[in-house]
Structures are given as structure tokens and as C-alpha cells.
Amino acid sequence: MKKIILSILTGCFTLTLSAQTKITLNTDLAKTKINKHIYGHFAEHLGRCIYGGMYVGEGNTKIPNTAGVRNDVIQALKELKVPNLRWPGGCFADAYQWKDGIGPKDKRPKMVNMWWGGVTEDNSFGTHDFLDLCERIGAEPYLAGNVGSGTVKDLSDWVSYVNHPGGSPMAELRKQNGRQNPWNVKLWGVGNEAWGCGGNMTAEYYSNIYRQYATFMSDSKDAKLYKIASGASDGQYDWTETLMKNIPHHMMDGVALHHYSVLSWKETKGPAVGFTETQYFKTMDEAWKMDEFIKGHSTIMDKYDPQKKIALIVDEWGGWYDVEQGTNPGFLYQQNTMRDAVIAGLTLNIFNNHAERVRGANLAQIVNVLQAVILTNEEKMLLTPTYHVMKMYNVHQDAMLVPMNIESPNYEFNGKKLTAVSSSASKDASGNLNISLTNIDYTKSHEVTINLRGEDFSKVSGKILASSKIDDHNSFEQPNKIAIKDFSGVKFEKGVLKLTIPAFSVIVLNLSK
């Protein structure tokens, strides 16, 4: 297809138009629900995620807090509509002894975080603190159980402690520690990355371990457990096949998948700010691989579970770069730019479009770690570009996926090609149509034509996240440099939408009847 190149200066960014993206939506054929848990988050005891990030201590008079958790963080997470929050890890989960994090805080034993920086933690943020936080922000807790270094009894006791209504030793212990009613935690990870930091197990061995631990994780009257097996990394298809073959399906509700958009695990991951287009293209290539991996693992799961009763849970994903200069390498603190916004938009579109099998996911991580939605520095707090994309996209939570046909030109660099524009669409309970669009192209804007079939809509509005440079970001000096803005550049006539999406930007359109 011959490309038409045209540069138009539009204030804060330059549009360079290329070949047209064509989308057809069948709005009356929506049958699959986009599970809200796709929009989950992840809080590990890693760097300044918990201590100094979310949790500043109950005696802190400098930073407004509720039971030690920052009020500004609580409010931001409420507005984000976080459906679930995974804790305490990550690798940390398989070293964590939950009983050390309950009872009087001044009597809790300390521990060394062997995975992340070797720092000593005082266990002042524990089970009660986390589960109470989830209640405050309206999120379901997702507890990752210790299978790597903990015993079957440890995990069984934890389930009883948080879920048993009364009469069991653990329920009575919970009441002694100030919580009368159970939290009724449903989401449970049975270990984490068992192939690596969770024990360096083989898939066959872990399958047996899973069966053993899951057997002693009991449902309670108001909490039927949703058990998630420690799944593969990237394209470890043999791992998924072994789990699906060896674990009885009535014992398993989900299989995890981890994939990060990282340049290299062995060499430099590249900077979070000041990266080259070569580094950017590679990051986008890794982000697009999420689609490939989901398809690959889903094909294996379909072989053993054609009715799709078992979910694929992508409970770790996001961009991973070198830490910011001068920070602890074990704290994984990185800045968050428009590149991260594009990763988020692209990845969420992929999840939405695989909603039949993908029914949960967790962005890594929520505060001050990796692709965080919030950054803090003492009293200061800011929302990152990723936060804004997650907020724009929350219209898809529990909405019905609208089937689409999309033809997009490529983003080309050094002889390689990636699909430039991704999209997903849904209908909410009120019948409104939501269309999300992400353009990963480094330099070119793209004209988009959307044909609506099946239903008529009369009104359209939109939001956009865009900036003049790909590594633009919010800082504590300029916390609102990148923010969601109204988007009015869409023409709507006779069931056809026409718009131009700028380079490295994200748009969400909302249509009503």
C-alpha cells in the first residue's frame, strides 16, 4: 500500500500521517465478558513499594495516612477502580512467613529480604494491614502462598486465619488480633515462579506439590477458593502442558503466565528515560509478544480444557528497565514515560481481545517499582502515564467484548515491522460502546476509520493521552505534565468514525445512543 506522508503541527505534538487503519465493529455480537480482574495490580515487598511507598507507618505525622497507609495513595487507587491486588510477591512470597506479620507490631520478628536488596524488614505491614487496605480501596485481595520455603500447614493455616468464621484455632487467633469477621479471601496463588525463585522445580515436581498444597486449602461458607497455579514464563509451553495434563482440573481455577517487556535479561535493559528508537522498537516487539504467548498457551489449554473452565492469569507483566541512576539496584525503581503508556494500552487491548481465556492479570507493580502507576518521594506523590491509561481503560471492566476486524499499517524500523495500531472494544451494562486505541508508532500518526455494524449510536466523546516526546514523564517538579485530556478530533457520520491517532498515544472513545 502506498503511504501518504504529511506533517501537521498541532500544538504539543507533530502529526505525520501514514496509511489508514480500518476497523469494523459488530456491536450486536458481544457475547464474552471482559473480566474486571484483567485490570489487577501487584504489590510486592520490593524496594519502596510497601515501606516508604504505600505504607509510611501509623505514627507518621508528616504524611496523612489511615492505619499507616498514605491517604493520597488510597484515594488514587479508589479512582483507578483496582479490582484485585496481589501480595506479598513475587519472589518474596516464597520466603514470607505470614505468622511473623500478625499480632503486636513491636513484638514481630524481623526478616531479611533475601531477594530484593538484602534489607531488613520489621514485618510491620502484614496480613491485617494488607487485607484492610483492600477493603478501603474496594479491591479483592489476591494472596500468593509460600510453597517454596513454607509448609503445607503454613498455607492451610493462613487460609483458615483469613477465612474461617470462628471455632478454628486460626480463626480464634485472628479474633485475638482484633479482627472478628473473616475477610473471605477467594483469590490464592499456590506458589510463584516455581520454575525459578519459587524453588527451581521441574513442572512434574511442581504439579505434585501443587496437588498436595491445594488439597489442604479449604473452602469456607462464604469463600470458595479460586486457586491459581504457578505458571510459565514467556514461551515455556512445556510447563503449561505438564500442569494441564497432571493437575486435576477440579483442583485448579487458573494457570499463571509472566511476561515482561524487557530488552535483555543478560545484558543492559536500557534506560527508562533517554532511550533510543532501537531500544524502543525492541520493547514494543516484546510487548506485542504477549499476544503470541497468550495464543500459544491458550492452544495448549484448549487441548485439555476445550470449555475454557480454567483461566489464564497473567499475574506479572509490564516494562522492565535499568534502575534510575543512584538508586539501589535491588529496588527496581524506574521512571514511567509515554513508552509505558503505550505498553499498557497495547497490552490491555491484547488481554481484552483474549477475554475468553484471559480472566485475570496484574501489572507489576503498583508503587515505586517497575511499571508503577504511582511514584512517591517523602510527602510528594504523582500519577504516572501508566496510571492514566489504566484509568481510561477501566470502562472495559466487566463489559462485553465487541468482536472487531482490524487492518493496520506497520510501524517499520531497520527493516523490521510491527503492527502500529491496536484496539479493543466493549459494551457496558447501559449499552454504551467503548473503543480503545493505541498507536505504538515512534514517529507517525495514523488515520483510523471505524465502521459500526449492528446498532446505531448518536453521541461520541473521547479521552487522549499524548505528549511531544516519547520519553516525556511526570516528575515531582511537574507532576501533571502528562495528563488525560478531552479528545474532540473525531468525525462521526452514518455509523462511521474517522479520527487521527498521534504517534505513541492512547485514545478511548465512548459512544452512546
The confidence score (pLDDT) of residue 221 equals 87
pLDDT digits (tens, 9 = 90+) for 282-310: 999 999 999 999 999 999 999 999 999 99
| Domains of the chain and CATH, by start | 6-31+402-512 (2.60.40.1180), 35-321+345-370+389-398 (3.20.20.80)
Amino acid 281 reads: F
| Residue among 242, 120, 127 nearest 182 (CA) | 127
In the DSSP assignment, the letter for residue 74 is H
Active site residues: 193, 316
338 in Cβ contact with 318 (< 8 Å): no
DSSP 53: T
Per-residue pLDDT tens digits for 303-344: 999 999 999 999 999 999 999 999 999 999 999 999 999 999
pLDDT at 434 over 90: yes
Residue 357, pLDDT above cutoff 50: yes
Angle 316-327-472 from CA coordinates, rounded to 5°: 70
Mean pLDDT of 169-190: 97
pTM: 0.94
Mean pLDDT across 439-450? 96
The reported pLDDT for the residue numbered 309 is 97
Per-residue pLDDT averaged across 439-466, rounded? 95
Backbone φ and ψ of 262, nearest 5° = -125, 140
The confidence score (pLDDT) of residue 18 equals: 57
- What is the sign of the dihedral through the CA atoms of 440, 32, 401 and 78? negative
State the average pLDDT for the chain: 94
CA distance 210 to 207: 5
Q: How confident is the model at residue 64 (pLDDT cuts 50, 70, 90)?
A: very high
**Residue 2: predicted pLDDT:** 33
**How much is the pLDDT for 17?**
52
Q: Using CA atoms, how far apart are residues 447 and 15, in angstroms rounded to an integer?
A: 10
Over residues 365-405, the pLDDT tens digits come to 999 999 999 999 999 999 999 999 999 999 999 999 999 99
What amino acid occupies position 190? V
Distances (CA, A) of 479 to 11, 78, 96, 376: 20, 19, 35, 11
Whether 4 has a pLDDT exceeding 70, the answer reads no
Separation of CA 349 from chain center: 12
**Amino acid letter, residue 432:** N
pLDDT digits (tens, 9 = 90+) for 230-247: 999 999 999 999 999 999
Question: pLDDT tens-digit profile of 10-19?
Answer: 334 444 555 6
Q: What percent of the chain has pLDDT over 90?
A: 93
pLDDT tens sequence across 181-213: 999 999 999 999 999 999 999 999 999 999 999
